[in-house]
C-alpha cells in the first residue's frame, strides 16, 4: 500500500520553498512547490480493512507527526 505524508496547510515546507526558488532561478514560471513523502509498504494483511487500520496505526506511531502532517492511504491488493 501507499502512504503519502504531507504537511498540513500553514506549516512551513523549507524543501518545497527551496525547490520553488531554484526552479524560478532556472527560468520556470512556477507558483509553488510542495514536497510530500510516499511510503510504499509491502505488508501482510487478511483484508483491505485490516490493511487500512494498520496503516493508520503506523502513521500515528511512526510515519507522520500529528501536529504538522496529514496522510492519505491507498491500499493495493496483491495475490
Size of the site for a second copy (CB under 8 A): 28
How many residues make up the chain in this entry? 79
Computed over its alpha carbons, how large is the radius of gyration of the chain? 16
68 makes contact with a second copy (CB under 8 A): no
Q: Which positions from 17 to 36 touch a second copy by CB under 8 A, shown as an x/- string? A: --x--xx--x-xxxxxxxxx
Backbone angles phi, psi at 14, to 5 degrees: -60, -35
> What residues does 2 pair with on adjacent strands?
40, 74
42 makes contact with a second copy (CB under 8 A): yes
67 makes contact with a second copy (CB under 8 A): no
Amino acid at each position: 500500500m501507499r502512504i503519502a505524508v504531507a504537511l498540513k496547510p500553514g506549516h512551513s515546507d523549507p524543501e518545497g520553498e527551496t525547490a520553488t526558488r531554484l526552479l524560478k532561478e532556472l527560468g520556470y514560471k512556477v507558483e509553488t512547490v510542495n514536497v510530500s513523502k510516499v511510503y510504499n509498504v509491502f505488508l501482510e494483511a487478511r483484508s483491505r480493512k485490516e490493511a487500512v487500520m494498520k496503516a493508520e496505526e503506523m502513521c500515528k506511531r511512526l510515519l507522520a507527526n500529528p501536529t504538522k502532517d496529514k496522510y492519505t492511504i491507498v491500499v493495493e491488493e496483491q495475490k
